[in-house]
A = this chain, B = another copy of it.
Amino acid sequence: MRLSLNQITTRDWSLAEAVRGCVDAGIPAIGLWRDKVAETGVATAAKLVRDAGLAVSTLCRGGFLTAQGPEGRRAALAENLRALEEAAELGTDTLVMVVGGLPEGSRDLVGARARVAELLAELAPHAGDFGVRLAIEPLHPMFCADRAVVSTLGQALDLAEQFPVEQVGVVVDSYHVWWDPDLERQIARAGARIASYQVCDWTLPLPADALLGRGHVGDGHIDFTGMTALVAAAGYTGWIEVEIFNEQVWRTPGADTLRTVIERHRTHVETP
């Protein structure tokens, strides 16, 4: 089974609880979040995961590269270097990058995107040194203003292709890209650039906080059979990470959530 639990899916679990939950449920990998890792410290977190025999599919997340001015730029570089170091220590080869939205008061999308490209160019060689790949995650266009000025897989690839394939890749997250009329072509184009395949479903209505509208695989409008086939055809054989932001899922006991995750994974994504 190529299933990985992204830690946000069981948000209220500590890292130790999430690791135990994965082991108990037979999930072989986990995607970690930096805030959860920080609660135990990186070294302890790395040991916890390693001792449990889990793979670390990704570390979430680096990015936020759109700040203006030398100070914002230095801070972003420093933060991402720390994230790369943590990723290496945690034993994952993938740092998920959410590139950041428009700075406060700015309407200059072109400028913000240019700054993303510039900082990626500074970070990419360091990523190579750490043996960790920067995985640019296009976010759904509804997050363009406040979270990510990279909105499509094509745009993420335009950026990634400026760097060696082992330094910069892309994330294919079903929730963010399912609507894209160019999806088939862009997934094929992505090929070995695919650093992570993340899944959760598009459900309606959107909740008051649009960030939290993601559903279990199978509860919404996304054709996972089709999308998974495209990702496979592109040559991706890595982890398939379930990443759900959803208040109702978060209120559910973690073990129950994991049962649903595994069942839906087998039904819709990876048939045994």
Contacts and interface: CB of A to CB of B under 8 A. Distances in A.
A113 interface: yes
Interface in A6-42: none
State the majority secondary structure of interface residues on A: loop
A180 interface: yes
Interface string A217-249: 000111100100000000000000000000000
B204 A206 contact: no
Contacts of A108: 223
Q: How large is the interface on A (under 10, 10 to 19, 20 to 34, 35 or more residues)?
A: 35 or more
A145 B206 contact: no
Contact of A142 (B113, B142, B146, B180): B142
B204 A209 contact: no
A28 B226 CA distance: 49
Contacts of A210: 142, 205-206, 210
Given A145-B179, A145-B220, A152-B181, 5 more contacts: A109-B178, A141-B180, A142-B210, A154-B181, A205-B208
